[in-house]
Amino acid sequence: MSDDEGLDYASSGVDIDLEGEAISSLIDSLGASPRPPGTVGAPVELPGGFGGLVEFGDNLLALATDGVGSKLQLATALGEYGGVGIDCMAMNVNDLICVGAEPIAFVDYIATPKPDAEVHAALGASLAEACRLARVTLAGGETASLPGIVKELDLSGTALGWLPKEAAITGENITGTDVLIGLPSNGIHSNGYSLVRRLLEVTGAELTDAAPFDASHAHRDITRFASSTPDSDPSLGEVLLNPTRIYVDPVVDLLLACRAGEGPCQEGDIHGIAHITGGGLSNLLRLNPHVGWHISEPLPEPPEFDWIRQHGKVEAREMARTFNLGMGMALAVDPAAGDAVSDWLNSRLPGSRVVGHASGESHTVTHADERIVFDAY
């Protein structure tokens, strides 16, 4: 990289546009489900696609599958696997939440060139903690030794959830007056690590050194490695490997409380939920194909984002398309219930608040930073 060149996700190895084209081709090739509507297992149309829904009597089952991604390469480099099971769980159950489902079970898939009992024990402990946080049963899994196919450890999984049939959150009730409530992230979460790893190469920054910035940030803690000196500043590796936040508490609790008539609003007042993962803030466009969004008061960013921006010379729009920028999940809520829902969420997850509103003008995402505009996911 020359002095004038900035990093972007595509040049770091991940082309979001190319991924989108590949996924569209895959979906087009799949064809229709063999299960007819009204039968167990029949698919339910869901525009946003955060999680898949199938019929199951009077209820719906929700499924999501995802992995840790190249964040796992940093964990492998350090031999620190305490957070990656949480990352894997979060990437899946947070997607289920977006369709209104309560996660109930999880299965993992570990691919490795060679089994390592010590590494597997660390992964098991991390997955056990993830199950506790997500309140799910680990129902099974698979470990595959694949020398010649995989060169290093990979971890993925699938989560199962359920919800009453009438409780599905599809985004179809979103209107141009809805408010947008943002929930704070723990940091980078599990997207954008190809760019992060490229930045580490360019800068020569060492994961074992103290973070080259003040890592403190309101409403998040850094999970320290067991080998860390208690009173030392967090290392760069600890900041970059901070586990992805699992939003079962407070979002599932909000949905259940509203469903029981004990929440801050009616269940139907929650019109849409977006998990801010790959694609960054453009994920908001998945909520409804006819409604845009304006983020007028973004949540504060954890300091690692500014470090990436400054030292990688990453443009504002590229940052917002690659990372969550401090907002890991967003809820679209009826304006009459916005303040009550925001206050309820903030009481459970401090830092949650209204960050913007729907825009009926066009299917775009705009931002207080005028350089950030998206018209496609």
Task: Flag residues of the chain having pLDDT under 50.
Answer: 1
Distant-in-sequence, close-in-space partners of 32: CB < 8 Å, separation ≥ 6: none
CB 374 within 8 A of CB 365: yes
154 and 208 housed in the same domain: no
60: in domain: yes
Supply the pLDDT for residue 16: 67
Residue 329: CB atoms within 10 A of its CB come to 25
Supply the pLDDT for residue 3: 54
CB 35 within 8 A of CB 29: no
Q: Which one-letter DSSP state was computed for residue 298?
A: P
Query: Domains in the chain: how many in total?
Result: 2
What φ, ψ does residue 202 adopt, rounded to 5°?
-70, -40
Distant-in-sequence, close-in-space partners of 90: CB < 8 Å, separation ≥ 6: 130, 134, 189, 190, 243, 244, 245, 246, 247
Supply the pLDDT for residue 32: 74
Give the pLDDT confidence of 37-47 residue by residue, as tens digits: 899 999 998 77
9: in domain: no
* Structural domain containing residue 268: 179-374
- Amino acid letter for position 317: R
Asked which of 112, 134, 167 is the last residue of a domain, the reply is: 167
Asked which of 143, 167, 191 is the last residue of a domain, the reply is: 167
214 and 331 housed in the same domain: yes
Supply the pLDDT for residue 267: 93
Helix (H, G, I), strand (E, B) or coil at 108: strand
130: in domain: yes
Supply the pLDDT for residue 342: 98
193 and 114 housed in the same domain: no
Q: Which one-letter DSSP state was computed for residue 230?
A: T
- What b/e sequence results for 205-234 when a residue is b if at least 16 CB atoms lie within 10 Å of its CB, and e otherwise? bebeeebeeebebebbebbebeebeeeeeb
Q: How many alpha carbons fall within 13 Å on the CB side of residue 48?
A: 29
- What b/e sequence results for 126-154 when a residue is b if at least 16 CB atoms lie within 10 Å of its CB, and e otherwise? bbebbbebbebebeebeeeeeeeeeeebb
23: in domain: no
Supply the pLDDT for residue 369: 97
Provide the CATH number for the domain around residue 344. Answer: 3.90.650.10
147: in domain: yes
